[in-house]
Chain A
Amino acid sequence: MLSLFIILPLLSLMVINLLPKELMKKIGTLMSLILPLAQMLVVVFIFLGILDIRPGPADHFFKFNLAIDNISLVMLFSIAIVILVTLLVERHLIPDADERFNFLNLVLITFTGMNGIVLVQDLFSLYVFLEITTVATFILISFHKKRDALEGAFKYIILSALATVGILSSIALIFLISGDTSFAVVHQALQNSRHAFLIDFALAIFLGSLFIKGGLVPFHGWLADAYSSAGRAISILLAGIVTKTLGVYTLIRLVSSVFGFDTEVKGVLMFIGALSIIIGAFAALGQHDFKRLLAYSSISQVGYIILSLGCGTPLGIAAAVFHLFNHAIFKSLLFVNSAALELQTGTRHMDKMGGLAQKMPITGVTSLLASLSTAGMPPLSGFWSKLLIVMALWFSGHFAYAIIAVLASVLTLGYMLSLQNRVFFGKLRPELENVKEASFGLLFPMIILAGIIVGVGALFPFILNSLIFPIIIK
């Protein structure tokens, strides 16, 4: 019944639009909360072995070729969490009920698309779901129809168009060579093919296109503008999970299941990863806008994931997936923090803030936890994934990259603490005297996410045994 992951969000989209609209404006979001919650539960049940996925009646109608493994489980869980958080904060960040309803629709479409990307097992369906998610994302970014949001969305569209062309051409070439689009068949066909030139070309443009989607240097031009100009609720979704699913997860799946790792692909991945880490971190150092800083930090962190993936070892892939999960958590938390700050102070400019920890203690503490997790401070969750990444690099013999990864965490700590310092520490500025803590609706997701950061960090041995090792052994 894997297709339910795709069908249910789609179905609920239909339901809330068919039912009386005035009612749905009020309770639609609340109803939709069931979906991510149910998905989290199901994932946990599958994970614990309580629930077994069998083909059911729904699979007869929708003949997708779907499969699930530990990586997809982690992705499904991350997607559900970020969607849940987005839906929880939506009511506080989008005042207008009509807009909120439209937003809900788009979120559900994105949800559908992302679940599809995670589960599909053939190239063409992958393309379809990529496009569904991307198009929904365009609209989400330009949602408020402000000038900079439109500009950000426009840049995204232009670069995404390039990516779309690239992906489609690549799929076409692969279809030409192998005669099929299913991952397994294509993988077999590519191994035995004589068309090395075409395969390399298809691989190159596929990789490049996914780098655009994932926002890796030098394909990242759209990312900072899109993240920072998008609405407050949207950037949580966008930065937390969408680009990671579109770009990074797809890359993991494609390289590990379709093209396979060879020395050159590893080299490209690791080089692009390291470049993104360094450029992203340095760019983040120079930012004054809270969300732009987080955007560049995203580039840097995605760099870590790709660098780890580039090891090509099971440990490297496991570390990449784990870091992806952690990143989804701490980056969503930071974007919720930034939304709360912008809502309470009316600005995103960090030089206009200062000393807010006394006025917004929970926001301050949770964002500090998220920052430290980003920088890889033990015992928070981010430390363990960075440790695994460095270990993966070291054991696979890439010492220089391992050292870069370690040194770059210093940079990460640098820009993250500079953010904390400018926003939360120091003297309270006089004009911020009347700032209050954000409402409970925003604090609740913050606390949950911070709890996950601390909890995963503290329970890491359990995670390692039940989540990481199965990926490695497989």
Chain B
Amino acid sequence: MEQHLLLLILLPLAGAVLILSAPQRMRFFKAAPALVITLVNMAIAIIVFKKNIIVNFPWAGFGIDLSFRLDHFSAFIIAAVACFSFLVTLYSSVFMRLKPGLKQFYAYLLINLSFTNGALLADNLIILLFFWEGLLLGLFGMIALGNKNSWQTAIKAFIIVGIADLCMLLGIAITGHLSGTLAISKINLPLASPLAIFAFIMLMIGAISKAGSMPFHTWIPDAAVDAPLPFMAFLPASLEKLLGIYFLGRISLSMFQLKAESGLSIALMVIGVTTIICAVMMALIQKNYKKLLAYHAVSQVGYMILGIGTCLPVGIVGGLFHMLNNAMYKSCLFFTGGAVEKEAGTANLEELGGLSSKMPITFFCFVIAALSISGVPPFNGFFSKELIYDAALERGAIFYFLAVLGSFFTAASFLKLGHAAYLGKLNPVHQRVKEAPLAMLIPMITIALACVLFGLFNSWPLDNLIQPVLGQRLEGISFSGFPANTKLIVITIVVLIFALLNHIFGSKIYGSGLKAADYIHYAPGLVNIYAWAEKGYFDPYRVGMKFIVVVAKVIFLFDRGIDWLSSSLFVNLSYGLTGQIRKVHTGNYAHYLSWSLLGMFLIAMFLLYKH
């Protein structure tokens, strides 16, 4: 069984090397090996599912062992990752067919798969760090394959994620120092000392930034526009969410003893609700299909962080379930976005409209995924959100209120998106638009189906995938089935109805679905905030870059000053002095003689005067 774990890491890596070394002309050879390898990877993931496997090789000394461990938590995430990887590859085999850089795309895809598996399996913090940081490589490469602006976005993503990874490096160092071991399964630290809290915060930054939470999210909407679309469905929508939330779960469930009463729990919840509200508000006003989805990809992370941050079993189960559900419906939504972009040639909502008649299956999948993300019963998003609401209400009404408000805006923005893209008048240029090809439809349909099934039969994923992760913490309670708290369900439904009324009201006033949310956009007060947000005033990267430019200018001036001192002032002074000294040395012995006499005289005078 041990070799299976290593295969999960080595097989995709070998595939990446194979694809990179294939001749340029063999176009078919790029997608086919990737498909085969992701399929095999999925098979292995299913074989090892529900098994506990430990692989350990002593390696670098100092407690750095090449050790991998498969337990239930990592096993189900690996299975999910394997499924998404296969579906994304299948989708890309059509979507990317005529795009440049195909070879690199599949190679990076497989490298990312390999490193994600490695990070999920690693049982040593240093090994984890290796794979975690290695993901930066694939991230950068995949973004950079996009349009001509993608290079900038790739650098932005690289810097933001790189800074967060540096925090994680620090956290790992402190954790290793505090616990005396680097083996993840052996670490169990109380959050008592300030150093331990600091280490937790650093590791948490690494985890939530991987998941794409605020304030580390700003590259995601940019990447949505610039990077190839399957990348969005692959990394920010599924793999990175799974990995980031997995690690957040690891640190808060097993590596540290996070308690519900602690300030860190409050901090996590605050980060969660801030992310939900701010990102969904930004999503609401977007006029681009992909960018709108990207903001939702950020917003939904907020629910997961909120759920895990509550430190209540119900919240954690909800958060983890939401992680899985979100990866499903979000990649499905990105797939529909990609299909629309591929067929209609644009993702700009102002140019789209009425596509439901041309692309009925895509529309159908979109509706299911949108209902899921909005939390409409009985789809999967509804159940995970209800669990999170339940936990949030127990920890504080304000968290519950903001989470529900986020749900309202989510529903509103998807009503707007669906209305603008699929309903309304068909743009005349899109008369000849056809349904997406089969290879793109299969992933969409599969996921949409899964959304329905995970909702209707939520006891299977909850009982088999999520709840075993918590084990003893649950004290035998099961959260499967229909939510117990009927009051909350009523509130949710009321909120959803309000969102629908709000949309009807907005589109009546402004005459189009796209502008349904404009009254929020241009509300007094909000309009300025939106304007600032659009200008990037709230983007830590842009602010940081501006700050760095200022710092760089100051340093440059300082450097020029030093340069002037050393290569201008001092040199000129020295040469001036040298010139004077040369002038004094006339070569006349009489002068020299008189200097010597004068010197002797002065010494004599000095000694006589002093004594």
Residues of B within 8 Å of A162, CB to CB, are 593, 596-597
Q: What 0/1 readout, one digit per residue, does chain A (188-216) give for beta carbons within 8 Å of chain B? A: 00000000110011011101110110000
Q: Determine how close the nearest CB of chain A comes to the CB of B350; give it in whole angstroms.
A: 64
B611 lies within 8 A of A264 (CB): yes
A205 lies within 8 A of B592 (CB): no
Given contacts A200-B608, A204-B607, A286-B582, contact A158 B575 (CB under 8 A): no
Q: Give which listed residue, B575, B603, B608, contacts A285 with CB less than 8 A.
A: B575
Residues of A within 8 Å of B587, CB to CB, are 225
B581 lies within 8 A of A282 (CB): yes
Q: How far is the CA of A218 from the CA of B589 in the complex (A)?
A: 13
Q: Determine how close the nearest CB of chain B comes to the CB of A454; give it in whole angstroms.
A: 30
Q: What 0/1 readout, one digit per residue, does chain A (382-416) give for beta carbons within 8 Å of chain B? A: 00000000000000000000000000000100100
Answer whether residue A159 sits at the interface, using C-beta atoms and an 8 A cutoff. yes
Q: Give which listed residue, B579, B607, B611, contacts A286 with CB less than 8 A.
A: B579
Residues of B within 8 Å of A154, CB to CB, are 589
Given contacts A158-B593, A197-B608, A224-B585, contact A204 B600 (CB under 8 A): yes
B608 lies within 8 A of A201 (CB): yes
Tell me the interface secondary structure of chain A in the complex: helix
Given contacts A207-B603, A285-B575, contact A218 B582 (CB under 8 A): no
B607 lies within 8 A of A219 (CB): no
Q: Determine how close the nearest CB of chain A comes to the CB of B163; give it in whole angstroms.
A: 38
Answer whether residue A103 sits at the interface, using C-beta atoms and an 8 A cutoff. no
Q: Determine how close the nearest CB of chain A comes to the CB of B226; give it in whole angstroms.
A: 48
B607 lies within 8 A of A200 (CB): yes
Residues of B within 8 Å of A207, CB to CB, are 600, 603
A285 lies within 8 A of B578 (CB): yes
Give the nearest-CB partner of B591 in chain A: A221
A268 lies within 8 A of B593 (CB): no
Answer whether residue B572 sits at the interface, using C-beta atoms and an 8 A cutoff. no
Chain B, range 573-611, C-beta contacts under 8 Å to A: 574-575, 577-579, 581-582, 585, 587, 589, 591-593, 595-600, 603-604, 606-608, 610-611
Give the nearest-CB partner of B600 in chain A: A208
Tell me the interface secondary structure of chain B in the complex: helix
Chain A, range 266-283, C-beta contacts under 8 Å to B: 267-268, 279, 282-283
Residues of B within 8 Å of A268, CB to CB, are 603, 606-607
Q: Determine how close the nearest CB of chain A comes to the CB of B1; give it in whole angstroms.
A: 58
Q: What 0/1 readout, one digit per residue, does chain B (166-203) give for beta carbons within 8 Å of chain A? A: 00000000000000000000000000000000000000
Answer whether residue A166 sits at the interface, using C-beta atoms and an 8 A cutoff. yes
A219 lies within 8 A of B596 (CB): yes
Q: How far is the CA of A330 from the CA of B611 in the complex (A)?
A: 40
Give the nearest-CB partner of B608 in chain A: A200
B592 lies within 8 A of A155 (CB): yes
- Contact size range, B: 20 to 34
Q: Give which listed residue, A263, A267, A282, contacts B577 with CB less than 8 A.
A: A282
Answer whether residue A222 sits at the interface, using C-beta atoms and an 8 A cutoff. yes
Residues of B within 8 Å of A224, CB to CB, are 585
Q: Determine how close the nearest CB of chain B comes to the CB of A289; give it in whole angstroms.
A: 12
B604 lies within 8 A of A205 (CB): yes
Chain A, range 121-172, C-beta contacts under 8 Å to B: 154-155, 158-159, 162, 166
Q: How far is the CA of A209 from the CA of B598 in the complex (A)?
A: 12
Q: How far is the CA of A218 from the CA of B593 in the complex (A)?
A: 10
Q: Give which listed residue, A211, A221, A285, contacts B592 with CB less than 8 A.
A: A221
Q: How far is the CA of A264 from the CA of B603 in the complex (A)?
A: 10
Residues of A within 8 Å of B597, CB to CB, are 162
A159 lies within 8 A of B596 (CB): yes
A208 lies within 8 A of B596 (CB): yes
Q: How far is the CA of A212 from the CA of B594 in the complex (A)?
A: 12
Give the nearest-CB partner of A279 in chain B: B581
Residues of B within 8 Å of A155, CB to CB, are 589, 592
B600 lies within 8 A of A221 (CB): no
A264 lies within 8 A of B606 (CB): yes
Residues of A within 8 Å of B595, CB to CB, are 218-219, 221
Give the nearest-CB partner of A197 in chain B: B608
Given contacts A158-B589, A221-B591, contact A204 B578 (CB under 8 A): no
B596 lies within 8 A of A200 (CB): no
A219 lies within 8 A of B599 (CB): yes
Chain A, range 207-260, C-beta contacts under 8 Å to B: 207-209, 211-212, 218-219, 221-222, 224-225
Q: How far is the CA of A39 from the CA of B574 in the complex (A)?
A: 44
Residues of B within 8 Å of A286, CB to CB, are 575, 578-579, 581-582
Q: What 0/1 readout, one digit per residue, does chain A (354-387) give for beta carbons within 8 Å of chain B? A: 0000000000000000000000000000000000
A221 lies within 8 A of B574 (CB): no
Q: How far is the CA of A267 from the CA of B607 in the complex (A)?
A: 10
B607 lies within 8 A of A166 (CB): no
A212 lies within 8 A of B596 (CB): yes
B598 lies within 8 A of A200 (CB): no
Given contacts A159-B589, A162-B593, A282-B574, contact A204 B604 (CB under 8 A): yes
Q: How far is the CA of A145 from the CA of B459 in the complex (A)?
A: 113
Q: How far is the CA of A166 from the CA of B601 in the complex (A)?
A: 12
Residues of B within 8 Å of A267, CB to CB, are 606
Residues of A within 8 Å of B582, CB to CB, are 283, 286
Q: Give which listed residue, B581, B592, B611, contacts A159 with CB less than 8 A.
A: B592
Residues of B within 8 Å of A197, CB to CB, are 608
Q: What 0/1 readout, one digit per residue, does chain B (266-300) give for beta carbons within 8 Å of chain A? A: 00000000000000000000000000000000000
Q: How far is the CA of A155 from the CA of B597 in the complex (A)?
A: 14
Q: How far is the CA of A219 from the CA of B598 in the complex (A)?
A: 9
Residues of A within 8 Å of B575, CB to CB, are 285-286
Chain B, range 73-93, C-beta contacts under 8 Å to A: none
Q: How far is the CA of A285 from the CA of B570 in the complex (A)?
A: 13
B603 lies within 8 A of A283 (CB): no
B600 lies within 8 A of A283 (CB): no
B599 lies within 8 A of A208 (CB): yes
Q: Determine how close the nearest CB of chain B comes to the CB of A298; give it in whole angstroms.
A: 15
Q: Determine how close the nearest CB of chain A comes to the CB of B115; give it in whole angstroms.
A: 45
Q: Give which listed residue, B579, B593, B607, contacts A264 with CB less than 8 A.
A: B607
B606 lies within 8 A of A218 (CB): no
Residues of B within 8 Å of A205, CB to CB, are 600, 604
Residues of A within 8 Å of B592, CB to CB, are 155, 158-159, 221-222
Q: How far is the CA of A414 from the CA of B577 in the complex (A)?
A: 15
Q: Give which listed residue, B581, B589, B606, B608, contacts A221 with CB less than 8 A.
A: B589
B598 lies within 8 A of A221 (CB): no
Q: How far is the CA of A224 from the CA of B596 in the complex (A)?
A: 15
A201 lies within 8 A of B604 (CB): yes
Q: Among the interface residues B575, B579, B597, B603, which one has the most CB atoms of the partner chain A within 10 A? A: B603
Give the nearest-CB partner of A278 in chain B: B577
Residues of A within 8 Å of B574, CB to CB, are 282, 285, 411, 414
Q: Among the interface residues A154, A166, A196, A286, which one has the most CB atoms of the partner chain B within 10 A? A: A286
Q: Determine how close the nearest CB of chain A comes to the CB of B563; give it in whole angstroms.
A: 16
Residues of A within 8 Å of B608, CB to CB, are 197, 200-201, 204
Residues of B within 8 Å of A264, CB to CB, are 606-607, 610-611
Q: How far is the CA of A200 from the CA of B596 in the complex (A)?
A: 18
Q: What 0/1 readout, one digit per residue, does chain A (273-308) give for beta carbons within 8 Å of chain B? A: 000000100110110000000000000000000000
Q: How far is the CA of A208 from the CA of B611 in the complex (A)?
A: 18
Q: How far is the CA of A219 from the CA of B577 in the complex (A)?
A: 19
Give the nearest-CB partner of A263 in chain B: B610
Give the nearest-CB partner of B589 in chain A: A155
Residues of A within 8 Å of B589, CB to CB, are 154-155, 158-159, 221-222
Q: How far is the CA of A143 from the CA of B527 in the complex (A)?
A: 96
Q: Determine how close the nearest CB of chain A comes to the CB of B16; give it in whole angstroms.
A: 48
Q: How far is the CA of A204 from the CA of B610 in the complex (A)?
A: 12
Nearest 3 A/B pairs, CB to CB: A221-B592, A208-B600, A204-B604
12 A–B contact pairs at CB < 8 A? A158-B592, A159-B596, A162-B597, A201-B604, A201-B608, A205-B604, A207-B600, A218-B596, A219-B599, A225-B587, A263-B610, A283-B585
Q: Given contacts A204-B603, A218-B598, could you give 5 more A-B pairs where the C-beta distance is less than 8 Å? A: A154-B589, A264-B606, A283-B585, A285-B578, A286-B575
Binding site for A on B (CB under 8 A): 574-575, 577-579, 581-582, 585, 587, 589, 591-593, 595-600, 603-604, 606-608, 610-611
